[in-house]
Structure 1
Amino acid sequence: MPGIGTAVNVATVLVGAILGRLLGNRLPVRTRDLVTDALGLVTLLIAGTSAMAVLDSDLSARVGDSAPMLIVLGSLVLGGIVGSLLRLEVRVESVGGWLQRRLAGETGSVERHRFIEGFVVSSLLFCTGPLTILGSLNDGLGNGADQLFLKSTLDGFAAIAFAASFGWGVAASAITVVVVQGGLTLVGVLLGDVLPDAQLAAITATGGLLLVGVALRLLRIREIPVADLLPALLIAPTLVALVAALH
């Protein structure tokens, strides 16, 4: 049944957020920061693994050996331009702020920042990985939700760690999961077939670099506006098609 994978994913995020929130109240700040650092390192590992899809043989065969890196670069640059003009990062943060006021009421600036940061970072982590795209599409195509079940397990543990540090903003990210994965599942139902392997590899590699940006935020190295780069996920397969036509 299409959509079951997203439903399970939302449930694990909510349960994980509740457990993390309950646990977080009993942990000192230093411990919560350490948990966030550990999650940032794991996110960096996942990101690196995904980014290696730029070396995929199907992608190289389709566009040539030297083009994949340029495609990913072009996707990020063009996606960043589009996203910044659309002010996606600001809009995502505004949604987080609106949800914080609706769900948690008026709080201090520090607590408000933690809610918004938890919502933004969790939404990006839960919705930009390759399992989100491929799993949701396959679920919509009726090929089963095994990939989303795997993602749900990973997201559940991540939600525990995030909520211990950021609070209820992580639970609010379940709304983003419903919108993004639900929309991709619907696209899968309408498409009737998955994307070609070459285009999927380009999306995976680009998504991996977006996750690097998420990891840098978690590690407090640099506040990269990852939401502004999200259009790159749509531009990547388009560039593959264009370069393949010229190759």
Structure 2
Amino acid sequence: MLIGPIANGAAVVLGGLAGAFMGSRLPERLRCALPLTFGLSSIGLGIILIVKIKSLPAVILALILGAAIGELIYFERKIGEFGAFSKKLVERIAPAKQGMSAELFEEKFVAILVLFCASGTGIIGAMTEGMTGSPSILLVKTIMDFFTAAIFATSLGYAVAMIAVPQFIIQLCLVAAAGIIMPLISPTMMGDFTAAGGLVMLAAGYRISGIKLFPVANMLPALVLVMPISYLWTSYIHF
């Protein structure tokens, strides 16, 4: 039985529902301060993951190519459209949150979607459960995601709970593919993949904290490219 993805998805749903229900009942200082803490946590986790890098040129190349692909296919715009669709869907059964522009909603929604779905903890945790059957890493993420979803839902509303859908699908695919992929992955490839995820999380942290509006979602194709590029670089270019 897949414990980790189910528990993690349930935490996002429950946290999103609880936070949206509480809404303005939470003190304003708490609703403003905690997202900054989450942004800082994302930055810190990103730094920890970046130091696992094995081949800097391969990671940078993957990041540049991935960001270029993301820009060309308007990946972030598509994720923003998913957020807008989620918002309209839940507004049919729940009242909309007031006082936030569509642009600000999209900016925040994209950042937290990346934080939930593309974090190194989630990816590594799902692959670990697929290989060993242990959900321990994803259970740690589950605890953090519950509170993160609750806080962001106080301002973004019930749409936050919808993030559980793509998150569950991604983790389910990773668990299923882990048994096939992991035997083919070298420590160098895994280190570079982890570092690329750390760079994406670093950008997401800057965005959540309001420091710099990185196009985080457009960087996600880099996570698909980094392992093949790392393999080719270390095999045929790096001496």
* TM-score clears 0.5: yes
Q: Give the aligned CA root-mean-square deviation in angstroms.
A: 2.2
Are 1:153 and 2:152 an aligned pair? no
For residue 212 of structure 2, what is the aligned residue in structure 1? 222
TM-score by length of 1: 0.85
1:20 correspondence with 2:57: no
Q: What is the rounded CA distance, in whole Å, between the counterparts of 2:107 and 2:132 in structure 1?
A: 35
Of residues 152, 158, 176, the one that matches 2:166 is: 176
After superposition, the C-alpha distances for 1:20-67 in whole angstroms (9 at most, x for unaligned) are 22333213444322221121112111111111112xxxx3xxxxxxxx
1:86 is aligned with what amino acid? I
Question: 1:186-217 CA deviation, whole Å, 9 max, x = no partner?
Answer: 21244473732211111111111111111111
**Match 1:129 to one of 119, 122, 131:** 119
Letter in 1 for 2:32: D
1:222 shift after superposition: 1.9
**In structure 2, distance between residues paired with 1:34 and 1:109:** 18
| Corresponding residue number in structure 1 for 2:231 | 241
- Normalising by the residue count of structure 2, what TM-score does the alignment of the two structures yield? 0.88
Contact 1:51 1:208 in 2 (8 A): yes
Unpaired runs of 5+ in structure 1? 60-67
Distance 1:168-1:8 versus aligned 2 partners, 3 A rule: same
Look up the SS of the partner of 2:51 in the other structure.
helix
Counterpart for residue 60 of structure 2: 73
Q: Is the 8 A contact 1:97 1:116 kept in 2?
A: yes
Partner of 2:4: 5
- The whole-number CA distance in structure 2 between the counterparts of 1:24 and 1:228 is 30
Q: 1:71 to 1:122 in 2, by over 3 A?
A: same
State which of 128, 134, 137 in structure 2 corresponds to 1:144: 134
Q: Report which stretch shifted further, 109-118 or 77-86.
A: 109-118
With over 3 angstroms needed to count, the CA separation of the structure-2 counterparts of 1:154 and 1:109, relative to structure 1, is closer
Identity of aligned residues (%): 27
Aligned partner of 1:64 in structure 2 is: none
1:69 alignment partner AA: L
- Shift in alpha-carbon separation, 1:123–1:194, aligned structure 2, 3 A: farther
Change (3 A) 1:12 1:35: same
Question: Could you tell me whether the CA contact under 8 Å between 1:118 and 1:168 is conserved in 2?
Answer: no
| Alpha-carbon contact 1:100-1:115 (below 8 Å) kept | no
- The alignment partner of 1:132 has SS state of helix
Contact 2:90/2:159 (8 A) holds in 1: no
| Structure 2 residue aligned with 1:32 | 31
**Residues 115 and 168 of structure 1 are in contact (CA less than 8 Å); yes or no, is this contact kept in structure 2?**
no
**2:81 is the alignment partner of 1:91:** no
Q: Does 101-110 or 215-224 show the bigger shift?
A: 101-110
1:101 aligns with 2:88: yes
Q: Which moved more, 1:151-160 or 1:193-202?
A: 193-202
- Which stretch of structure 1 is more off in the superposition, 12-21 or 213-222? 12-21
- Cα 1:111–1:29 change in 2 (3 A) is farther
Displacement of 1:157 = 2.2
Q: Which runs of 5+ in 2 are unaligned?
A: none
Aligned residue-pair number: 234
SS of alignment partner, residue 173 of structure 2: helix
Alignment partners' CA distance in 2, 1:202 and 1:30: 38
